[in-house]
Amino acid sequence: MTDVARLAGVSHQTVSRVLNGHPNVREQTRLRVRAAIAELGYRPNKAARALVTGRSQLIGVVAQNSTLYGPASLLAAFEAAAAEAGFAVSVGRVNVLDRNSISDAVERHLDQRVAGIVVIAPTASANEAVGEVSAGIPLVTVDGDPERSTPLVTVDQAAGAFAATTHLLSAGHRTVWHVSGPSDWFDSLGRIRGWRTALETAGLEVPPVVPADWSASSGYRAGQMLARMPEVSAIFAANDHLALGILRAMSERGRRVPHDVSLVGFDDVPEAAYFIPPLTTIRPDFDAVAKETLELLLAQVSDGDVGAPQRTVAPSLVQRDSVAPPAE
């Protein structure tokens, strides 16, 4: 930086002012400094800046160490959004979403003097942990508890589930069964709520929830059970991989989809169009979630506290070939 200042014939402080877009710099000086920067290939040292300002151009993300499609896509989308805004992203993976792991991960980020933290907290335990952590630093929760009063961005699970269920009902089915995700995930809860609401507003019977986790294997087990029940004609699966397991169970038992059983998934994984049959599903807009998250975070960074805004992003229905009117 001193070299740049010398070459441009100014003080290092003026160089700093140019770098930070300070208004009170003469245009001519600004150009000279820029030229010197370019000539020397100078790049500012972020560590030094972080030291003196107390904040770096880094955003810390705390996420569960999983390759589940939803969280992974969200993370990728967020990294892209942050990069566009000139922020680097440091990811702190965590194996279990309990209090210790999360607060450890957050503190590791604090050590790096991150500008803000994003926690992907889709389960109840994660949510509690976040509650205790928030230590005077910009923080946004993604996929967390809608009841909590912190800045939060989520996919509108209930709306998606409502759309899926309504779509099945409008094909003529008398009721819709639901194979759910793990009960400690807010995503699962929201999807159950939307499904139930859709049935109730239609004045229909609400069958018991079939519990599962997010895996194809648990979907398969749930599917084996549902395949044995002739009265089941429509199923809303809490995600596409569950739906895949259900498809296999149906196929093994000779129940054809969509002829005998209609099925809707959730997530729109890239290969869902190539399931047998192609899966009708709900597509969350991860890019939108990432964008909103970054916006809320940066608002906190620049304006300090901004209350506890909550944003939800509406998912959309993708129609393929796994839904048909009931057989009879």
Footprint on this chain of its own copies (rule: CB under 8 A): 43-48, 50-51, 56, 58, 65-67, 69, 72-73, 76, 79-80, 83, 88-93, 95, 107-113, 215-217, 219-220, 241, 244-245, 247-248, 251, 270-271, 273-276, 278
Q: How far is the CB of 18 from DNA (least distance, A)?
A: 8
Q: How far is it, in rounded angstroms, from Cα 278 to Cα 288? A: 25
Q: Which does 12 bind (CB under 5 to 8 A by kind): its own copies, DNA, none?
A: DNA
Q: Alpha carbon 321 to chain centroid distance?
A: 27
Q: How far is it, in rounded angstroms, from Cα 113 to Cα 165? A: 46
Q: Which does 113 bind (CB under 5 to 8 A by kind): its own copies, DNA, none?
A: its own copies
Question: Is residue 20 within 8 Å of 9, Cβ to Cβ?
Answer: no
SS (H, E, C) 207-253: CCCEECCCCHHHHHHHHHHHHCCCCCCEEEECCHHHHHHHHHHHHHC
Instruction: Specify the stretch interacting with DNA by CB under 7 A; choose among 48-56, 89-97, 138-146, 310-318.
Output: 48-56
Residues of span 22-41 touching DNA by CB under 7 A = 23-26, 28-29
Q: How far is it, in rounded angstroms, from Cα 81 to Cα 207? A: 41
b/e map 271-296, b = 16+ CB within 10 Å: ebeebebebbbbbbbbbbbbbbbbbb
Q: How far is the CB of 43 from DNA (least distance, A)?
A: 7
Q: Which does 25 bind (CB under 5 to 8 A by kind): DNA, its own copies, none?
A: DNA
Does residue 52 belong to the site contacting DNA (CB under 7 A)? Answer: yes
126: its two tokens: 């994660």
Cα dihedral 15/84/155/247 (nearest 10):
-150
Contact mark string toward DNA, 286..325, x via CB under 7 A: ----------------------------------------
**Residues of this chain that bind DNA (CB under 7 A):** 1, 9-17, 19-20, 23-26, 28-29, 44-45, 48-49, 51-54
